[in-house]
Amino acid sequence: MIDITLPDGAVKKVPEGTTPMDIAKSISEGLARNIISAKFNDTTVETVTPLTENGSLTLYTWNDPEGKKAFWHSSSHVVAQALEELYPGIKLTIGPAIENGFYYDVDFGDRSISEKDFPAIEQKALEIARGKHDYKMRSVSKADALSYYKKQDNPYKVELIENLEDGTITFCDHSTFTDLCRGGHIPNTGIIKAIKILSVAGAYWRGDEKNKQLTRVYGISFPKQKDLTEYLELLEEAKKRDHRKLGKELELFTFSQKVGQGLPLWLPKGAALRERLEQFLKKAQKKAGYEMVVTPHIGQKELYVTSGHYAKYGEDSFQPIHTPKEDEEFLLKPMNCPHHCEIYNSHPFSYKDLPKRYAEFGTVYRYEQSGELHGLTRVRGFTQDDAHIFCTNEQLSDEFKNVIDLTLYVLNSLGFDNFTAQVSVRDLDQPEKYIGNAEDWEKAEQAIIDAAEEKGLNYVVESGEAAFYGPKLDFMVKDALGRNWQLGTIQVDYNLPKRFDLTYKGSDNELHRPVMIHRAPFGSMERFVALLLEHTGGNFPLWLIPTQAIVLPVSEKHEKYAEKVLNSLENDEIRALIDKRNETVGKKIREAEMQKIPFMIIVGEQEEASGTISVRRHGGEDLGSLTTNAFSDLVTTEINSTLKSF
């Protein structure tokens, strides 16, 4: 007999060889019908995997993220089989589950597929799925695995197997299909009721531009057709909210091939939007005791070698800038923190001077591969709302909690009220990924967890998600479409103060090492604006939107009165424009609606005679006839209801 511990702490004594499905049946028939995957002692297993030792077991259904992962990974096998049957001779590589769905990277040789081929692939995949084929795992020797794929003339699988140890290699079989796979599948293909091929894209083998470009086939699947229908409706809404589309329509930003990929150009309206976001945060930061600093866009290579950023970003980033002086090298800065460390080092501090809080809207540069660039969410040059706090160990808890307060203020002011806090810690199995000693890491991780608990945050702990120099608290925000994004981040760092030999004089007259907190409530201005665009659909909060109102004179003879109205609004600090074009009011209203302008102010003969304005809200609501003062009061009240003081 073996002891199986369930998530609620209950322990079941079962015969050796019992499967997760057997245990599900012993709990309830309903659970047994819905279980599609399981985890045993931190390893994903099949529902039919025999359990041979004591351990912890978690059962997953479609409603669990791990269940979806198994479902989508299993579906990638089905699509891969469909592709092999439709396109004989192709070479399969890898097919993982991703956040929404799955992909499979395929070498199609001289052939290619496009959107017109998707229905045939879907039909073939569903035909395979309806066969209710069981997924069966089996161990294979390294020699046999290599022989199998060499016969198939598949160099990609051969390369993967060559990097595996004998005794750790497994194949997954279903129907007539076999694939190299570590496991984690649903019981059988029949559970898959709906499959959709979403897109195809180019992808270099193993993400290396020096390797051959493969075809990445993206898909998604569901246990019910209804779920797929709802997902496709959500995708259509997401297309309407795509920040690249809205950014162009609202004239916020653009890109130029001559300037370079991944380097956004902010147009006047977008620059004004950014400026308001900056001023909003600067005002809150000033109240919180931050001091603004400015640092250059480049630094000597040695600066980033000292900080560890060169080892992290150097080889995969922009190449060094060589000056006329021999052996002198500069780098475009990948992070602001080394510069802020040197600002701290420019002056001796005592414990009475701490904490020091340096803030900067600093632009940094990282060479992302061209295939990974995506509008404003993945760029090569971006501006971080960066700040670094240098404090004593005794001040760390309060300072960290104060940063949480500031981050929550930013998210709430911009309508991001659905979020989870993620405590990102190191992966204990891969210590080589991180710098610093274990003791400092433990202190930093515990400090973050304590602060999250004291602030009552809904948080989860994620192993392996820490920065290379320290753990962090990330705010994972759910947008209006239900998608998760990482926005604000707060990080505790004991390592950079050591690397830069930062000190302060303590009350004992001895030198001590400060603790460093990195924080960025927006994350980056570019990514934040992109997510805000998609979250709001371009209907920004009234306090932030570039144009709050547009005055629409009915005809040319009402333009003087329209200018008088505009002056009155501007005196009340309302951002407004006049549309004097020789177009109908109806057309002007339609175009103002497309521009997402919150208020349309119509002025004609009746309004001029009564000294009033007719107000229409974006979306069609008629607010009737108002005085300009009453309208200004309405705008002020609405802004004050969403933008509180920090």
> Which residues are tagged catalytic?
337, 366, 384, 386, 388, 472, 518
C-alpha–C-alpha distance, residues 200 and 16, integer Å = 45
Q: What is the chain's alpha carbon radius of gyration, rounded to the nearest angstrom?
A: 29
Q: Name residue 484's beta-bridge partners.
A: 478
Closest CA to 381 of 524, 244, 256, 252: 524
Scored b (16 or more CB within 10 A) or e, 395-420 reads bbeebbebbbebbbbbbebbbbeebe
* Enclosing H/E stretch for 232: helix 225-241
Distances (CA, A) of 145 to 86, 172, 205, 330: 24, 12, 20, 48
Q: Inter-axis angle of helices 65-86 and 118-129, to 10 degrees?
A: 110
Q: Are 55 and 77 in contact (CB under 8 A)?
A: no
Instruction: Find all residues with CB under 8 Å of 159, minimum gap 6, and list them.
Output: none
Residue 66's SS3 state is helix
Closest CA to 517 of 492, 488, 495, 494: 492
Instruction: Find all residues with CB under 8 Å of 305, minimum gap 6, and list them.
Output: 311
Closest CA to 181 of 173, 191, 190, 171: 171
Closest CA to 337 of 486, 505, 469: 469
Instruction: Find all residues with CB under 8 Å of 25, minimum gap 6, and list them.
Output: 31, 32
Report the relative pairing of strands 504-505 and 511-512 from DSSP bridges. antiparallel
Residue 18's SS3 state is coil
Name the amino acid, one letter, at 241: R
Q: Are 386 and 525 in contact (CB under 8 A)?
A: no
Token code pair at residue 502: 């930062």
Q: Are 45 and 24 in contact (CB under 8 A)?
A: no
Do you know the residue count of the chain? 646
C-alpha–C-alpha distance, residues 476 and 416, integer Å = 10
Q: Are 612 and 626 in contact (CB under 8 A)?
A: yes
